[in-house]
């Protein structure tokens, strides 16, 4: 029998800050990957004003940013990656969790819904956050491995924009779990999450950006938290 589900974005939805900041903090505290960080910042930060000025599409900026995050853990094996992911979850994400939204997630768990975190963060980190919160399903960006170590590249498109819906459907199809999408819920903060919202019958905007706030108002969607 198809089951209702609840899908939660993480960055800006369940947290006040982005997960990638925790990833960077992990290495900064250890004084590691300084060259990697300099290269990442040097490549991406100059693009921020271009994005703000509308000269670089938001989707492209987000795609490049997410695709290059695996640079930070290039060469890590599974044990090292688990240590990194657990630190980000427990030392960073736990500190920036929205206290008014986390209970919404817990309510869906209590109601027996299929609950999943769906994030552009590397999949291992999304799994660590899900484990910390008792969430059974974690869907994130697939980082490539070869010979037991991370290569620094993605194994597919980042789990952002329209790919969130693609990865959600693929995840549950792989598990053989039949989801009633029309009876399901989605929570996210950005207009770029329209792909995820379009998957469900009950979308909810959480601390929405301006475009999402306007869309939610026009379509009668519930809004949790004040618009950005």
Q: What is the mean pLDDT of residues 63-80?
A: 95
Q: Residue 148 above 90 pLDDT?
A: yes
Q: What is the mean pLDDT of the chain?
A: 96
The predicted pLDDT at position 54 comes to: 86
Q: What is the mean pLDDT of residues 32-53?
A: 93
Sequence-distant (6+) residues with CB within 8 A of 41 are none
Q: What is the mean pLDDT of residues 167-177?
A: 97
Q: What is the mean pLDDT of residues 74-78?
A: 98
**Distance separating alpha carbons of residues 173 and 137, to the nearest angstrom:** 13
The predicted pLDDT at position 59 comes to: 82
CA quadruple 22, 27, 33, 37: dihedral sign:
positive
The domains of the chain, with CATH numbers, are 5-224 (3.40.50.1000)
Q: Residue 106 above 90 pLDDT?
A: yes
Burial (0-12, 13-18, 19+ Cβ within 10 Å), 214 = middle
Cα-atom radius of gyration of the chain, to the nearest Å?
17
**Distance separating alpha carbons of residues 204 and 192, to the nearest angstrom:** 14
Q: Phi, psi (5° rounding) for residue 77? A: -95, 180
pTM score > 0.85 for this model? yes
The predicted pLDDT at position 47 comes to: 92
Sheet arrangement for strand 114-122: 137-141, 114-122, 5-8, 185-188, 202-206, 223-224
pLDDT > 70: what percent of the chain?
100
């Amino acid at each position: 029998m198809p089951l209702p589900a609840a899908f939660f974005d993480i960055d800006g939805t369940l947290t006040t800050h982005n997960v990638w900041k925790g990833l960077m903090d992990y290495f900064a505290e250890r004084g590691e990957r300084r060259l990697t960080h300099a290269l990442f910042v040097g490549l991406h930060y100059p693009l921020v004003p271009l994005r703000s000025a509308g000269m670089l599409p938001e989707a492209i900026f987000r795609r490049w940013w997410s695709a290059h995050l695996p640079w930070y853990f290039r060469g890590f094996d599974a044990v090292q990656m688990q240590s990194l992911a657990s630190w980000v979850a427990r030392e960073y994400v736990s500190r920036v969790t929205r206290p008014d939204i986390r209970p919404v997630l817990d309510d869906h768990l209590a109601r027996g819904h299929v609950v999943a975190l769906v994030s552009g963060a590397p999949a291992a980190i999304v799994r660590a956050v899900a484990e910390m919160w008792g969430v059974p399903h974690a869907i994130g960006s697939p980082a490539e491995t070869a010979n037991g170590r991370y290569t620094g590249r993605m194994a597919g498109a980042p789990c952002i924009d329209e790919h969130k819906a693609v990865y959600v459907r693929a995840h549950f199809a792989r598990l053989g779990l039949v989801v009633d999408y029309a009876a399901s819920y989605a929570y996210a903060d950005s207009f770029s999450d329209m792909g995820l919202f379009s998957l469900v019958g009950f979308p909810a905007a959480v601390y929405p950006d301006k475009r999402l706030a306007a869309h939610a108002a026009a379509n009668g969607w519930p809004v949790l938290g004040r618009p950005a």
